[in-house]
Every structure is written in C-alpha cells, then in structure tokens.
Structure 1
Amino acid sequence: MSVDDRKMYPCTCSDCGKESQVPFQPIEGRDVFCKECLPKHRKPRTENRGRY
C-alpha cells in the first residue's frame, strides 16, 4: 500500500480550526493538528536519543 492509497479521515485542527484529513482515526478528546500546525506542537528531537 503506497502513501497515496492510505485511508484518510476528516478532522478539524485543534489549533487553527481548519478542516483537514489525517491518515489515522482521530480519537475524541485528543488534539489533532493540520500539517501546517503540527510542527508547532511536535517535541524537539534530541541529538543523542538515549543511544551510546
């Protein structure tokens, strides 16, 4: 299954209120963000992710 074939689910962005679609079933009570707002809410990645 390619990325283009994934089932998409409608949602409303919890940040800006824009109608969007996500590749997972949104869970009631959990925030969902559009692709423009998502980077603002992601945790920053660390260089050494616990590996030696």
Structure 2
Amino acid sequence: MESLYLLIPLSVLIAGIIGVLFWWAGRDGQFDDLEGPGHRILHDDDTPPQDPS
C-alpha cells in the first residue's frame, strides 16, 4: 500500500510530462505534413548525377 503513495504521483507526473511534450510538438509544427514524407520516398530519384563534360 505504501508503494502507491509513490507510484500514483509519479505516474501523474510522467503523464503530465508526456502531455506537455505532445503539446509542444504540435505547436512546433511536427504534425503539419503527415503525407509528405511517404510521397517523397516513392518519388526518390536514385540516378547518379550526369557529368557535364
């Protein structure tokens, strides 16, 4: 029972930290373009550059 006095506030603190980090990432623009990286992988150009000579 005594361990609950430590575990409950610790879990609330960790959940609060995760919430703040999620809010910060959302305000920073981390979730603005969710489809762009997937499309960039499909249209990746793997051909080597041509020599201008």
TM-score of the aligned structures, taking structure 1 as reference length? 0.24
Instruction: Indicate the structure with greater helix content.
Output: 2
Instruction: Indicate the structure with greater strand content.
Output: 1
Larger radius of gyration between Structure 1 and Structure 2 = 2
- Tell me which of the two structures has the higher relative contact order, counting C-alpha pairs closer than 8 angstroms and 6 or more residues apart: 1
TM-score of the aligned structures, taking structure 2 as reference length? 0.24
